[in-house]
Structure 1
Amino acid sequence: MRATINFLIVIGRPILKFFKLLRKIEIPKIKLKLPKIKFEKKKKKLIFNKNIIKNNNKKKFKFGWKYPSLLLLTLLITGVLLWTYQTVLRDLPNVNEIYNPPKLSTKIYDRNNNLLYQFYENEDRSWIAFNQIPKDLILATIAIEDKDFYRHHGFSLRGIFKAVIYNFRKNDEDKLRGGSTITQQLVKNVFLSGEKSFQRKIKEAILAVMLESILSKDEILERYFNQVPYGGNVYGVAEASNRYFGKEVGSLNLAEAAFLAGLPAAPGSYSPFNKEGFQLAKLRQEHVINEMLSVGYLDSARAKEAKNTEIKILEDERNILAPHFVFYVKNYLEKLGFTEVGRRGLKVKTSLDLEIQKEAEKIVKEEIEKVRRLKIGNGASLVLDVKNGDILAMVGSKDYFAKDINGKFDVVTQALRQPGSSIKPINYLLALQEGKNLWDTIDDSPVSYQIPGQKTYTPQNYTGKYLGTITLKTALASSLNVPSVKLLKENGVENMIDLAEKMGITTWGDRSRFGLSLALGAGEVTMLELSQAYSIFANLGEKVNINPILEVDNYLGEVIYQKKIESEEVAGERETFLINDALSDDQARSPIFGSNSLLHIGGKKVAVKTGTTNNLKDNWCIGWTPSYLVAVWVGNNDSTPMSWVASGISGATPIWSRTMKNLISDKKNENWPIPIGLYQSEACGKREWFYEGGEKRVKCLTPTVTPTLTTN
């Protein structure tokens, strides 16, 4: 109904003028020869009421059989109006919907504005304002599509007539002219289907008139350039310019502008990506230039130069960069409330550094190839800037497109894997929070635990060797299993789960399924959440939430989201400092890993922890500095066990070592600031960190031979 009212308002005046003109037309009387009818004579007297019937000489207009032509015309007009309402006006679209933006592609960029990927729903389109469209492109489009654009009010009978005559004379498929105005083409693309029918053409004309009543000519052109197809899934001139020429619309030369102006007439036939389509498009471009010349939009010299300018079309490549990260960002956007990402036209600036990403991908691929003999088929890595929660690189598998390993599955964010010994720092942090000191001793001797209703639990060290009485620092740095289980027995399983959840691990929901084996990594985690937890060590107790998005702009370029660093204190500075010190001490881990292993990066302070599950399905290495964290996993997506010789050193560590060196090799060494309440003192021939008076509790120890098994 609203559409009908709008239509009547727009065309009301012409209709009124028509009927005023109709009233002035003299309609001749038509004499009808009626057959003679015989009536029976009946003697009845007719009585007339003189008060009702008055004889005056004025002629009165009466509908009736005396005026059949007018009656017929009235019925015809009424029928046409009823048919028009029934088939055209009743379901006419609301022209005000032109103010709604079309489907627009959302583009994902790295932190340096390198395009990673763009999401779209069928129509790949980017919005551009009218003042950013070059004059040559505007004139080229008007010349080829609608020379009377600035003179008509929506549709042009003159233009239709001229197009029919031109096409009849030329009979050239490459130089066809359309009868539709630019406004009508916009209407067809926005409101109507591609159906070819008389009713649709009427709707198109009506809507075009209505559109011209609410939009200026420049506004119509702006929407035209953003709506119409330019071939394949390319819609709008901004995306066409970028896809075909690799440049912004404002940088187009005359030859390129004329080339694009010719495409909307037959975008399927003029596809620049195939030889035949390009040749047709080039002929069309020359025709556009001739039309511009004919109406005086350019002189013959510019026309000749444009025709001779080489058109270079980019290859049809739309590669996705950092694919696992890109789809993680898409999901993250939806969590922030940005639904329908593929049609909102967002510009998303992310935290990713494309150069770091490319190097990380290269390292994972090369190192996994080297360890194929160990039955390792896949790997993943994550690089964080721990100070602000930025993801600098995310490698979800060795090859996103590898079908044999289901490469599209994102190990970083989706896979639930057991962390093995890499979970131990949380257990040791809990012990320090409960009042222990890393120089306190613990017995690294075989032990068994009798658990009611279950088999006896007997943890074993990975190497099968036991060091006897050792410090907690040595036990942690050397990743010994038995001391970790004994420590959890004191700490309490529930308490460790509480701390892990506080640090960001959310996957240990059903606590009843966990026992002392949690100390050795029995609880599944994602790499992302484990990295979130360990970034707390890097930040000396502060949890900075991981957030991959720096800024989001809408299609008009307005900033609608900016990252705010969210943080909270979840652990003490002294305790996390001591954990970092233990895990960065090459001498402390030497009893198991040896000196100067791949875990050691010369001249740099780096804390690092490895982990391998007992079933050899998961192998980890995760390490951090005051600025960066690198996490690495290797294994098989189908959980096939690796070779028994695979370990943290031989599996994940080579990837971790190369990635970390790539990050920090050209940077100054960073040390964690010393928390209040800690100081260094001489102990057992080296300087160590202690709480006040803690050095008095130190006992200098020498690892013993493997003790015999005892039961606890």
Structure 2
Amino acid sequence: MRQFLSSIKNKVIVLTILVFILLALFVAGAYFFIFRDLPSASSLRNLKAIPFSTHMYDRNGKLLYEIYRDQNRTPVKVKDLKPYIYQAAIAIEDKDFYRHQGVSLTSGILRSLKELILRQTLQGGSTITQQLVKNALLTSERTLQRKIKEMILAITVEKQFSKQEILEMYMNQVPYGGSAYGIEEASKAFFGKQAKDLSLPEAALLAALPQAPSRYSPYINLELTKKRRNEVIQKMKEQKYITEQQKKIAIASPVVVIPLRTTIHAPHFVFYVKSLLEKEYGVDLVEQGGLKVTTTLDLDIQEKTEQILKDEIEKIQYLDVGNGALLVTRPPTGEILAMVGSVDYYATASGTFNVTTALRQPGSSIKPLNYAMGIDRRLVTAATVFLDIPTCFTAEGQPGSYCPVNYDGQFHGPSQLRFALGNSFNIPAVKMLAVNGVKDFIASASAFTITSFEDPKNYGLSLTLGGGEVRMTEMAQAFSMFANQGVPRKLNQILKVEDRFGKVLYTFKDTNFVPDVKKAVPAPSSLSIPGKRALSRDASYIISHILLDDNARSGAFGAGSLLVIPGKAV
């Protein structure tokens, strides 16, 4: 019996020692994993955070844009602001701000666990206190360690500071886009006034920005900005910060901001790339991480392209045409060499809208894809004769009878496919789509990397005349297959991304890549182009040949027209 009790006692002692060892290891692990290098919450009182600006260059090292060149902050007191200014931020960012103790159980911890388990990501909803801690004291890395530190610091901050102090620090710290840090500088940057003078709709617009400054920027997409602003206003009403009447007046007000004052080259392209970077690396790293981004753009080509567009728009002003867009790419590599989203970025609010990435009707530029599909399926050849005569069509998705006419109001009788496409006749193109079938054409369009066309039931035979909206960027990808022997190349915008320490985060690699755009790509290999073949080599060659055939288009454009470039096969 004594031996038995002694044995039990020894086991208890051993077990106790093991528990203490495990506990010590746990404490040590927690210290090194979480508490080691944990910033002091009290340092927020004398915060002097200095984020590093991100530089964006063209392919030759010419600076296009410096993101957050200056981080101007002018501190304001919450008590000096109209209540709706900070209430707008609370309504959209943290409706339980006055109820939680730094971390929200439902939107913070539980959502983080759900995202971690289901998607292996850490994107739980952060409270205003957590956002303050993350922006001011921590890095933007998405790791479990950083998330735990963020939560611990948020709870600590709530114990050391009052809600008003936390809100005040947040309002003076949060990035609103560009060089605007804090509500005061944001007010000056977007509206040319002090924060205390902001109207309700202006305050709502600023509150809408921190979640995604580029996406919701009024200088990029005015309609999306207004939609997001109105969402803030709606939440303010739901949370009883404003009345129904105030909500109606605020939502009805237009979005009016002062012109962008920062010097910037290729602005449509810059903000397009900035949005892509934010999706890949997160807003914080892009706007404060000191990245060096080398893009595919060639500034010399860009500036010439901008001037060409202005000149051509001036020539046709009598036709009441006031805007346009251009996209210059290299088909084998998909590099964007120039992107002009409007004729004048700074002219009006609509000038900031990037037409190259927007849904627009492509007109007759869709016809080559239609004919290419018919040739590829061996339904027709370049010599197939179409009757360009008065014809009416009925088809699924086409309401009633559809009777197209040609742009010149005439009918041209029997026309071979080569001449029908070269002269851009409408009726043969509609007949070609009727043979291909709208449903099959939509399916082929997705293989051509066009994703804008969705349900075939939404389209009729007018699709081949530009009756469906598509993005210019997608059309550039689709047309690249004619140059790439049937393989469409997705667009590329970035050559290299480096962090502030010079560590390479991304490098564009392609065997067809030639750094100097003035030099031709020597015999580009279609075999090295990523992606699936969407068109046969024969069909891509035939369409390319028709498009460069001066004789094939002479009926509409005349022989030796401006479409002929001496020494170039165009």
Structure 1 segment 608-627 matched on structure 2, within 5 A: none
Matched, 1:602 2:566: yes
Given that residues 542 and 570 in structure 1 are in contact (C-alpha distance below 8 angstroms), is that contact kept between their aligned partners in structure 2?
yes
Paired position in structure 1 for 2:146? none
Paired position in structure 1 for 2:339? 394
Structure 1 segment 73-152 matched on structure 2, within 5 A: 92-93=42-43, 102-120=50-68, 123=71
Matched, 1:449 2:393: yes
Residues 471 and 346 (structure 1 numbering): CA distance in 2 closer, same or farther, change over 3 Å?
same
The residue type equivalent to 1:448 in the other structure is: C
Structure 1 segment 263-302 matched on structure 2, within 5 A: none
From 344, 369, 374, the equivalent of 1:431 is 374
Matched, 1:319 2:263: yes
Given that residues 460 and 481 in structure 1 are in contact (C-alpha distance below 8 angstroms), is that contact kept between their aligned partners in structure 2?
yes
Residues 548 and 124 (structure 1 numbering): CA distance in 2 closer, same or farther, change over 3 Å?
farther
Paired position in structure 1 for 2:537? 573
Structure 1 segment 480-499 matched on structure 2, within 5 A: 480-499=425-444
Given that residues 416 and 524 in structure 1 are in contact (C-alpha distance below 8 angstroms), is that contact kept between their aligned partners in structure 2?
yes
Residues 103 and 582 (structure 1 numbering): CA distance in 2 closer, same or farther, change over 3 Å?
same
Matched, 1:357 2:302: yes
Residues 375 and 530 (structure 1 numbering): CA distance in 2 closer, same or farther, change over 3 Å?
same
Which one has a bigger Cα radius of gyration? 1
2:503 and 2:367 mapped to 1: Cα distance?
46
Structure 1 segment 674-693 matched on structure 2, within 5 A: none
Q: How many residues align?
A: 331
Paired position in structure 2 for 1:419? 362
List per-residue Cα deviations over 1:149-208 (Å, max 9, x = no partner): xxxxxxxxxxxxxxxxxxxxxxxxxxxxxxxxxxxxxxxxx88xxxxxxxxxxxxxxxxx
2:262 and 2:363 mapped to 1: Cα distance?
40
Paired position in structure 2 for 1:546? 491
Given that residues 459 and 481 in structure 1 are in contact (C-alpha distance below 8 angstroms), is that contact kept between their aligned partners in structure 2?
yes
From 442, 445, 448, the equivalent of 1:503 is 448
1:109 Cα deviation from its structure 2 partner: 0.2
- What SS does structure 1 have at the residue aligned with 2:359? coil
Residues 451 and 576 (structure 1 numbering): CA distance in 2 closer, same or farther, change over 3 Å?
closer
List per-residue Cα deviations over 1:431-452 (Å, max 9, x = no partner): 1111121112121111012458
Given that residues 121 and 343 in structure 1 are in contact (C-alpha distance below 8 angstroms), is that contact kept between their aligned partners in structure 2?
no
1:361 and 1:107 mapped to 2: Cα distance?
22
Paired position in structure 1 for 2:277? 333
- What SS does structure 1 have at the residue aligned with 2:569? coil
List per-residue Cα deviations over 1:310-357 (Å, max 9, x = no partner): xxxxxxx95101000000110111233344211111000000101111
1:476 Cα deviation from its structure 2 partner: 0.8
Matched, 1:479 2:424: yes
The residue type equivalent to 1:562 in the other structure is: T
Given that residues 121 and 342 in structure 1 are in contact (C-alpha distance below 8 angstroms), is that contact kept between their aligned partners in structure 2?
no
Given that residues 477 and 583 in structure 1 are in contact (C-alpha distance below 8 angstroms), is that contact kept between their aligned partners in structure 2?
yes
List per-residue Cα deviations over 1:242-289 (Å, max 9, x = no partner): xxxxxxxxxxxxxxxxxxxxxxxxxxxxxxxxxxxxxxxxxxxxxxxx
1:121 Cα deviation from its structure 2 partner: 8.4
From 580, 583, 588, the equivalent of 2:547 is 583
Matched, 1:406 2:350: yes
1:105 Cα deviation from its structure 2 partner: 0.8
1:102 and 1:90 mapped to 2: Cα distance?
17
Matched, 1:467 2:402: no
Residues 320 and 515 (structure 1 numbering): CA distance in 2 closer, same or farther, change over 3 Å?
same
Given that residues 473 and 588 in structure 1 are in contact (C-alpha distance below 8 angstroms), is that contact kept between their aligned partners in structure 2?
yes
TM (normalized to structure 1)? Answer: 0.44
2:376 and 2:423 mapped to 1: Cα distance?
21
Given that residues 421 and 546 in structure 2 are in contact (C-alpha distance below 8 angstroms), is that contact kept between their aligned partners in structure 1?
yes
Paired position in structure 2 for 1:22? none
Residues 591 and 118 (structure 1 numbering): CA distance in 2 closer, same or farther, change over 3 Å?
same
1:429 and 1:581 mapped to 2: Cα distance?
12
1:419 and 1:333 mapped to 2: Cα distance?
28
TM (normalized to structure 2)? Answer: 0.54
Paired position in structure 2 for 1:29? none
- What SS does structure 2 have at the residue aligned with 1:543? coil
The residue type equivalent to 2:388 in the other structure is: D
Matched, 1:343 2:288: yes
1:591 and 1:325 mapped to 2: Cα distance?
38
1:549 Cα deviation from its structure 2 partner: 0.1
- What SS does structure 1 have at the residue aligned with 2:64? strand
2:310 and 2:40 mapped to 1: Cα distance?
62
Given that residues 395 and 461 in structure 2 are in contact (C-alpha distance below 8 angstroms), is that contact kept between their aligned partners in structure 1?
no
- What SS does structure 2 have at the residue aligned with 1:331? helix
Gaps in structure 2 of 5+ consecutive residues:
1-27, 32-38, 74-135, 138-178, 182-260, 511-528
List per-residue Cα deviations over 1:560-581 (Å, max 9, x = no partner): 1111346222211110000000
List per-residue Cα deviations over 1:643-665 (Å, max 9, x = no partner): xxxxxxxxxxxxxxxxxxxxxxx
1:91 and 1:587 mapped to 2: Cα distance?
76
List per-residue Cα deviations over 1:3-51 (Å, max 9, x = no partner): xx9xxxxxxxxxxxxxxxxxxxxxxxxxxxxxxxxxxxxxxxxxxxxxx
2:308 and 2:395 mapped to 1: Cα distance?
45
Paired position in structure 2 for 1:207? none
Paired position in structure 2 for 1:366? 311
Residues 441 and 124 (structure 1 numbering): CA distance in 2 closer, same or farther, change over 3 Å?
farther
- What SS does structure 2 have at the residue aligned with 1:501? helix
The residue type equivalent to 2:534 in the other structure is: V
List per-residue Cα deviations over 1:287-306 (Å, max 9, x = no partner): xxxxxxxxxxxxxxxxxxxx
1:90 Cα deviation from its structure 2 partner: 9.1
The residue type equivalent to 2:492 in the other structure is: N
Given that residues 442 and 453 in structure 2 are in contact (C-alpha distance below 8 angstroms), is that contact kept between their aligned partners in structure 1?
yes
Paired position in structure 1 for 2:82? none
Residues 320 and 493 (structure 1 numbering): CA distance in 2 closer, same or farther, change over 3 Å?
same
1:427 Cα deviation from its structure 2 partner: 0.7
Q: Percent identity?
A: 44
The residue type equivalent to 2:485 in the other structure is: L
Instruction: Calculate the aligned-residue CA RMSD, in Å.
Output: 3.1
1:571 and 1:434 mapped to 2: Cα distance?
9
1:330 and 1:479 mapped to 2: Cα distance?
38
Residues 399 and 121 (structure 1 numbering): CA distance in 2 closer, same or farther, change over 3 Å?
same
List per-residue Cα deviations over 1:211-237 (Å, max 9, x = no partner): xxxxxxxxxxxxxxxxxxxxxx799xx
1:470 and 1:371 mapped to 2: Cα distance?
31
Given that residues 361 and 466 in structure 2 are in contact (C-alpha distance below 8 angstroms), is that contact kept between their aligned partners in structure 1?
yes
From 439, 450, 461, the equivalent of 1:516 is 461
1:459 Cα deviation from its structure 2 partner: 1.0
Q: Which moved more, 1:327-336 or 1:388-397?
A: 327-336
1:328 and 1:567 mapped to 2: Cα distance?
23
List per-residue Cα deviations over 1:574-631 (Å, max 9, x = no partner): 100000001110101111221111212123211xxxxxxxxxxxxxxxxxxxxxxxxx
